[in-house]
Amino acid sequence: MRSSIVAFLTDFGTEDGYAGAMKGRLLSLAPHVNVIDISHEIEPYNIQQAAFCLNNSYPHFPEKTIFVVVVDPGVGTPRKGIVLETSKHVFIGPDNGVFSFVCRQEGYRAYEILMDSLDDGVSSTFHGRDVFSRLAAWLANGRSLRQNVQPIEQVNSFLNPMQQISKKEFLLEVFHVDHFGNLILNLHKDDCLKLESIEDPGIRYKELQLTGVHKTFGEVAEGEYLLTWDSSNFLQIAKNKGNAAMGLQASVGDSVTLFG
């Protein structure tokens, strides 16, 4: 396999030059690659946000795209670096849950990166540049990683099954607050359809109770809250032409009750 697109997703910001270093290293080894920035603005160390961001992006990229994801609070500890191969894409990064959604949704083969096989020039604080970008470049060049990885069975994930709290009630959580203040909940449309006890989803959250999932924000008045399926088909609490997170003083991790 030879790839032409490498997409970066990090919590580095850009102002220190760390993201630049990764791109430079990649282009030095694989000059033909089209470098795409997904984001460098993940909140520092926020693995969950990175996983969510990746989930919104990766399904839309061409076959053979290589994703380098570096939100890596454990760099320098014995946490594994991994390579995941799905039928369409390749993912490279630390084994800390950033690939939780990929693993839930795709068939994959997982490999641990053998750090000792990277003979020279691996800093202990910057695997993004010295390990992950290098492997991405080698893959993009069609080089086999056989000497550098070994198969593993398990990949870390932070996704837990939803908790049922009564016959027709489940406990959800605010999973992510996006740029516009929408509250994304940990319920995918496909999973919701499988819940026999939920016919028409509604939620209770703080003082708010909402029933029925709308198709567009414009179906409610300006300033009103509503439920919709977000663009990756997770249930979200939104506010038409407003910021739901501010209006509701919401935080990631808040509990939400699903009923139906």
For the segment 149-188, give every residue that binds its own copies (CB under 8 A): 176, 178-180
Nearer to its own copies, 130 or 259 (CB): 130
Alpha-carbon distance values, 55 to 73, 76, 186 (Å): 20, 26, 13
Terminus-to-terminus CA distance in the chain, angstroms? 47
Residue 218 is a binding residue for its own copies (CB under 8 A): yes
Q: Does 115 bind its own copies (CB under 8 A)?
A: no
Smallest distance from the beta carbon of 189 to its own copies, in angstroms?
A: 11
Phi first, then psi, for residue 257 (nearest 5°) are -95, 130
- Any contact of residue 121 with its own copies (CB under 8 A)? no
Pick the binder of its own copies from 15, 153, 190, 207 (CB under 8 A). Answer: 15
Binders of its own copies in range 22-81 (CB under 8 A):
22-25, 27-28, 31, 34-45, 49, 52-62, 65, 73-78
Query: Which of 109, 120, 117 is closest to 146 using CA atoms?
Result: 117
Q: Which of 6, 9, 92, 248 binds its own copies (CB under 8 A)?
A: 9
DSSP 58: G
CA-CA distance, 44 to 72, in Å (whole number)? 9
Q: Give the interface size with its own copies as a residue count (CB under 8 A).
A: 72
Which position among 241, 246, 251, 255 is part of the footprint of its own copies (CB under 8 A)? 241
DSSP-assigned states of every residue in 62-118: PTT-EEEEE--TTTTSSPPEEEEEESS-EEEEESSSTTHHHHHHS-EEEEEE-GGGS
Taking the least distance from each CB to its own copies, the nearer of 56 and 186 is 56
